[in-house]
């Protein structure tokens, strides 16, 4: 029974995390749904420009595109209430909605 539950948890996590695009040694964009490796690369580069990805510590961002739109999730173990992070997320939202074709 516990092996079946462990398997379901693993499959659920794998489905949520999707494929991994390594931005650098410590940071990655995991993409799923109809998001592509190219989309993940563009998001990773944007996060570097904004200063969120700075290769200082391990960080993961989830990118999922589906029928209802695109969702970007930031995996935060701590710092979710850091005012600087909140400001950065608020100001980056409108710019992140632009999608590069190519």
Residue that wins the pLDDT comparison between 71 and 87: 71
Answer for the pair 21, 41: CB distance below 8 angstroms, yes or no. Answer: yes
pLDDT greater than 60 at residue 35? yes
Residue 11 in tokens: 């499959």
Average pLDDT on 46-67 reads 90
pLDDT of residue 102: 41
pTM of the model: 0.66
- Residue 27's CB is within 10 A of a number of other CB atoms, namely 21
Domain boundary assignment for the chain: 2-96
Average pLDDT on 75-88 reads 69
Answer for the pair 23, 36: CB distance below 8 angstroms, yes or no. Answer: no
Bridge partners of 19? Answer: 31
pLDDT of residue 73: 87
Q: Percentage of the chain surpassing pLDDT 70?
A: 60
């Amino acid at each position: 029974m516990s092996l079946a539950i462990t398997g379901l948890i693993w499959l659920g996590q794998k489905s949520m995390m999707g494929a991994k695009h390594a931005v650098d040694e410590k940071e990655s964009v995991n993409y799923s749904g109809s998001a592509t490796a190219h989309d993940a690369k563009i998001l990773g580069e944007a996060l570097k420009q904004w200063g969120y990805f700075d290769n200082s510590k391990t960080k993961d961002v989830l990118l999922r595109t589906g029928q209802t739109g695109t969702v970007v999730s930031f995996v935060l173990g701590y710092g979710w209430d850091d005012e600087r992070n909140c400001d950065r997320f608020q100001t980056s939202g409108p710019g992140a909605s632009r999608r590069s074709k190519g």
